[in-house]
Amino acid sequence: MLKLCGALLIIMALGIVGLVIAGNYSLRPQQLRYLIHGIKMLETEMLYGLTPLPIALKRVGKKLPAPVGQFFLNTADFLIKGEGLTAGEAWEMALNDLANESALLPEDLDVLLYFGQGLGGSDREEQSKNLKLVKEQLLNQERKAEEQRAKNQKLWQYLGFSLGAVIVLILI
């Protein structure tokens, strides 16, 4: 009876590990979609509503779920509270927090970092071009993430339980 309980615990533990890893593959495309949506809202606020950047970032952040919404809110807070910080510096500081809290990969964060360097530092036309460019790049990253999710999610789900069963068979 004790062996049976131990075997079930091993299978369940490794199965849960596999499910957690598989879950991260579905989080990344979702968070990229939220970022794309946030950039679209930011574009509307900045270019059509002529809203000042900190206020626009706050409005966008309130409409999106964490951690993406918190990223926009942190950027706005850094701009409001950080004396002498440029928009790019505030964006980069908030991006560091996002890197720790999200399922985004360094290549996704690089796209955002590059965009943030030009944020708020040019005229409307240039901002419009930058916003369109970052949306295209994030859409490309989302497509890649979706392909990875489709390929790897089921693999990790089955791999966790299968590995648990193999270890139980070896131990018995």
Report the alpha-carbon distance of residue 74 to residue 80 in Å, rounded. Answer: 10
Write down the pLDDT at residue 14.
93
User: What's the total number of domains in the chain?
Assistant: 1
Report the alpha-carbon distance of residue 94 to residue 68 in Å, rounded. Answer: 10
Calculate the average pLDDT of the chain: 92
Which is it for the CA torsion 82, 67, 135, 105, positive or negative?
Answer: positive
Q: Is the pLDDT of residue 118 over 90?
A: no
The backbone region for 102, taken as left when phi is positive above 0, alpha when psi lies in -120 to 50, beta otherwise, is beta
Write down the pLDDT at residue 49.
86
Report the alpha-carbon distance of residue 66 to residue 64 in Å, rounded. Answer: 7
* Amino acid (one-letter) located at 126: E
**Section 136-141 average pLDDT:** 97
Query: What are the tokens at 141?
Result: 């990253």
Write down the pLDDT at residue 34.
97
Report the alpha-carbon distance of residue 123 to residue 160 in Å, rounded. Answer: 52
**84 burial type by CB count under 10 A (0-12 exposed, 13-18 middle, 19+ buried):** exposed
**Section 2-25 average pLDDT:** 90
Report the alpha-carbon distance of residue 153 to residue 158 in Å, rounded. Answer: 9
Calculate what percentage of the chain has a pLDDT beyond 90: 70
Write down the pLDDT at residue 31.
96
Write down the pLDDT at residue 144.
95
Q: What is the extent of the structural domain holding 96?
A: 2-171
pLDDT, tens digit (0-9, with 9 covering 90-100), for 22-57: 888 899 999 999 999 999 999 999 888 889 999 999
- Grade residue 1 by pLDDT with cuts at 50, 70 and 90: confident
* Amino acid (one-letter) located at 24: N
Omega within 30 of 0 (cis) for the link into 29: no
Q: Are the C-beta atoms of residues 70 and 63 closer than 8 Å to each other?
A: no
Write down the pLDDT at residue 62.
97
Query: What are the tokens at 99?
Result: 């890197």
* Amino acid (one-letter) located at 74: N
**Section 1-20 average pLDDT:** 91
First to last CA, the chain: 13
pLDDT, tens digit (0-9, with 9 covering 90-100), for 74-93: 999 999 987 788 899 999 99
